[in-house]
Structure 1
Amino acid sequence: MQSSVSPLQPCLHPIYARLLCAALCQHGFSEAQVMEGTGLDWAHLHSDNRRLSFAQVQRLVRRAVQLTECPWLGLETGCATQVYAHGPVGYAAVACADLRGVLQVVERFSVLRLSSLRLTGHQVGERYCLSADEDFDLGDVREYILSTLAGTFLRLLEMVCGPLPSGAVQFDFPFAEPAWSARYRELLGGAVTFSADCYRVSLPLAWLERPSLSADASAARLALRDCEHLLLGAEQGGDWTSRVQLRLLACEERYPTLEQLAEEFHLSERTLIRRLRDEGTTYQQLLDEVRQELACWLLLNTPLSVERVAERLGYQDSSNFSRTFRRWLGMTPNAWRSGSAEVLRP
C-alpha cells in the first residue's frame, strides 16, 4: 500500500459513477436524492470525462448504499456492467486470441480505468491468480469496490469463455464474511472466501490456452494501440489538465499563479492557457475545483475548524472562504459538514 498516493488524486473513470447513478435511478431515486451530501453535480458528472477522485467516489458510494440499504450493491453493479463500458481496455480484452491475452490486458491496462488498485498475475500450483494491491486504504467502500471488480471480471470471463463451470473461479475477499455472503456465492458461482490477505481471483491454469469466443485480431491491434497510447500518456503525467490538478493537490496553503505554474512546466503563460483551453478548462476553474474538493475532504474527514480549513486552502479571511464555499455548494461549510456527515454516515 502506497501511503504517498492521495485519495484526492483522480483515480476512477466517471462512467462507473454514471452506471451507479443509473442503477439508483432505476431503484426510483431522483437525481437530487442521489447527489445529496456528495458535493457532486449531476450535469457535470455526466458531461465531464475527467477522472473522479477516490474521495468523490467514496461519498457517492456511501450515499448509494444508504439509499438502497443494499450493502452488496457493488456486486450487483459489477455483474450488470457490460464489458464495453470499460472503453479501449474492454475492447482490447475481448478481442484477444485467448484467455492468456485477455488476462495480460487486464493486468497491464486496468489502471487506465481504476488507478487506486494494482493488479498482478502469477501462478500458484495449477491455478492462475490475479491479485489486487491497494494504493491506499479503501476504508468503508472496500467491499463495494472489490465486489464490483469481482462481478466485472466474471462478466468478462463469461463473454470470452462462454458459460463457466460452477465453482471453477475462486474469489477471495480481504474483509470479514458479511451477513449477506450467500448473495456473493449466488452471483459469483459458489467459490468465495472472506478474510483473505488481499483481493484475489483464481482459475485453472489450463484455461489460459482457451481461445476467446470474441477473438478479432484486427480489432485487438487497434484497441491495444489505443491502450498503449493512453498508458504512455498517463506515465508521462497525463494531459495538461491532470498535470495541473496534481500540481495543485500537492500545494500547502500557497498556490502558484498561472505565470509561476507555466514557468514550472517550461511553457509560456499563453501556451499553458491555450493547452488547457483545448482540453475544455482554465487554470482558475481547476484551482476552484481542487480547493472545493479539498475543502469537502477536510470538512468531512478531519476535525479542523472552518478557519483552519480556510488557511489550508490559502484563504487569509475565513469569511471569504465561507462565501466561496456557499457559491460552490449552496451552503456554508458548517452546514455542509453537519449535513453530509449525517447523510453519508457509513
Structure 2
Amino acid sequence: MSTVTEAGVKDWDFPRGVASVALMVGFAGEQGVGVGRMLQGSGLSEKALGDPDAQIDAHTELAVIRNLVRELGDRPTLGLEVGRRYRITTFGIFGFACVSSPTLGEAIAFALRYLELSFTFCIPVARWQPGEFVARIHDERVPADVRRFLVERDVTAMHQMLCDLLGHRVELVRAEFDYPAPADTTPYVETYGLLPGFDRPHNLFSMDPAVLERPLPQANEHTLAMCLAQCRDLVSRRRARTGIAADVRELLVPRGGVDGFAAPPGIDAVARDLNMSTRTLRRHLDTAGTSYRQLLDEVRRALAEEMLTATPLSVSDVAIRLGYAEASTFIHAFKRWTGTTPSAYRRDGVSRAVR
C-alpha cells in the first residue's frame, strides 16, 4: 500500500519573488554575462532584483531563464550548476518554515502544501511506499525549449534543500530522467551520489523512507508556528492579486463596497461573467490552488471586518449583506476565520481606537 501527496499547485504559472532571478543573474555574471543581457525582455530592472518584497509573474522568470539558456546553454550540465546554488535561505520564510519542521518528512509535506512559495517550474508528487519514498517530477507543462534545464535545476535544488535541512548530503536510492545522458555523467554522480538512469519514462528520485523520520537539527515549534502564519498570509496576498483568483475576487466584492446590499454571486453567475462554464472555472481555480468557496470566505471576511469596525450595522445586518440567511451561520463562520465572535471583534476594535 502506498500514500500519495500532491503539491498545493498543479502548474508552474504562479507568482513568485525575485530571489531566483537574482540568483541566476548572479551566476551568469560570474560567467561573464551582463545583467542587461539576462534581463532582456523580462521587464525587470536591476534595482528590482534587490527588493525582497518584489513579486513577479512566472513568465517573467521564464524570460530570464530563456536568456540564461541562450547565453550559457552550451554548458552540458547548466541546470545542475544553477540548481546547486539554491540553498534553504534562498526561499525566505518558506525555507525557514521547512528548517523549523520537526522531521524531514514533515518538512517535505509542508513544502508540497506551500509549493507556490518556491521557484519551481516542475511539479513534484510524493509517494510513500513500502521500502521507498519516491518523488516524481512532472515536467509535462514546462516549455520544451527550457525543459531539460528546468528539470535539472529544479531536481537539484530540491535535493540541495534536503541536504541543507539535514546538514549533510542526502543519499538517494535512485534517480531517473526522461532525457538522454550527457557525454560526461560525472557531475550527476558528484551531485546525487549515484549515476542516474537516463531515457526513462519519468523524472524522479527516491530515498529510504527511514530518512524521513530523522529529526531536523533546527526544529522549533514556536518558530514553525510563526513561519506557518506568515506563509499563509503570503499565499493569500499573492492569490488575491493575480490570475483567475483575482478575477473571481473582483466579481465577489460588491460594486457599492460595504454599502452594497446585493449578496455575493454564486459560482454559476461568476462563471458566466467570466465567459466560461462552471466546470472550467472550478478546474482553473483548482489549478491555482484555491476554490470559489475559499475566495468567497476571504472576501466575506474582509468585508465583515470592515463593516464591524467602520459602520454601525448590527451583526444581523452584516450577515444579511454578506449573503447569509441567518446571523448564527455568519457568527459561526466569523469565529472560524478569526477565533472570536463578531461582537467581540467590534468591541476590541473600539478599544484599540480609543487607546
In which range does the TM-score fall when normalised by the shorter chain? 0.5 to 0.7
The AA in structure 1 aligned to 2:221 is: A
Q: Do residues 57 (structure 1) and 61 (structure 2) align?
A: yes
The match for 2:203 among 199, 205, 212 is: 199
Task: Call closer, same or farther: CA 1:193–1:52 in 2, change over 3 Å.
Answer: farther
Take 2:255 and 2:234, find their aligned partners in 1: how far apart are those partners?
Answer: 23
Give the equivalent residue in structure 2 for 1:286: none
The match for 1:215 among 194, 216, 219 is: 219
Contact in 2 for aligned 1:12/1:115 (Cα 8 Å)? no
Contact in 1 for aligned 2:133/2:208 (Cα 8 Å)? yes
Q: Provide the TM-score with structure 2 as the length reference.
A: 0.60
Give the equivalent residue in structure 2 for 1:143: 148
Take 1:179 and 1:189, find their aligned partners in 2: how far apart are those partners?
Answer: 18
The match for 1:266 among 247, 254, 263 is: 254
Give the equivalent residue in structure 1 for 2:175: 171
Q: Do residues 126 (structure 1) and 131 (structure 2) align?
A: yes
Task: Measure how far apart 1:91 and its partner are.
Answer: 0.7
Task: Measure how far apart 1:93 and its partner are.
Answer: 0.9
Task: Call closer, same or farther: CA 1:199–1:58 in 2, change over 3 Å.
Answer: same
Take 1:141 and 1:88, find their aligned partners in 2: how far apart are those partners?
Answer: 28
The AA in structure 2 aligned to 1:100 is: G
Q: Which runs of 5+ in 2 are unaligned?
A: 1-9, 260-355
Q: Which runs of 5+ in 1 are unaligned?
A: 251-260, 272-346
Deviates more, 1:83-92 or 1:58-67: 58-67
Give the equivalent residue in structure 2 for 1:67: 71
Q: Provide the TM-score with structure 1 as the length reference.
A: 0.61
Q: Do residues 242 (structure 1) and 246 (structure 2) align?
A: no
Aligned residue for 1:57, secondary structure, equals helix
The sequence identity of aligned pairs, in percent, is 18
Take 1:120 and 1:171, find their aligned partners in 2: how far apart are those partners?
Answer: 15
Aligned residue for 1:121, secondary structure, equals strand
Aligned residue for 1:192, secondary structure, equals coil
Give the equivalent residue in structure 1 for 2:115: 110
Task: Call closer, same or farther: CA 1:21–1:263 in 2, change over 3 Å.
Answer: same
Give the equivalent residue in structure 2 for 1:300: none
Give the equivalent residue in structure 2 for 1:306: none
Take 1:217 and 1:262, find their aligned partners in 2: how far apart are those partners?
Answer: 37
Write the mapping of 1:1-346 to structure 2, written as runs, cut at 5 A.
Answer: 9-36=13-40, 38=42, 40-47=44-51, 49-54=54-59, 56-68=60-72, 69-114=74-119, 116-134=121-139, 136-164=141-169, 168-232=172-236, 238-239=239-240, 241-243=241-243, 247=247, 265-267=253-255
Task: Measure how far apart 1:199 and its partner are.
Answer: 2.5
Aligned residue for 2:55, secondary structure, equals coil
Greater relative contact order structure (CA < 8 Å, 6+ sep):
1
Contact in 2 for aligned 1:14/1:45 (Cα 8 Å)? yes
Task: Call closer, same or farther: CA 1:244–1:96 in 2, change over 3 Å.
Answer: closer
Task: Measure how far apart 1:179 and its partner are.
Answer: 2.9
Take 2:42 and 2:235, find their aligned partners in 1: how far apart are those partners?
Answer: 30
Contact in 1 for aligned 2:173/2:205 (Cα 8 Å)? yes
- Rg: which structure is higher? 2
Take 2:256 and 2:139, find their aligned partners in 1: how far apart are those partners?
Answer: 38
The alignment of Structure 1 onto Structure 2 pairs a total of residues equal to 248
Contact in 1 for aligned 2:176/2:196 (Cα 8 Å)? yes
Task: Measure how far apart 1:38 and its partner are.
Answer: 4.9
Take 2:56 and 2:41, find their aligned partners in 1: how far apart are those partners?
Answer: 20
Task: Measure how far apart 1:39 and its partner are.
Answer: 5.2
1:36-90 Cα offsets, whole Å, 9 max, x none, are 4555443345446223323x33332222123233242221122122201112221
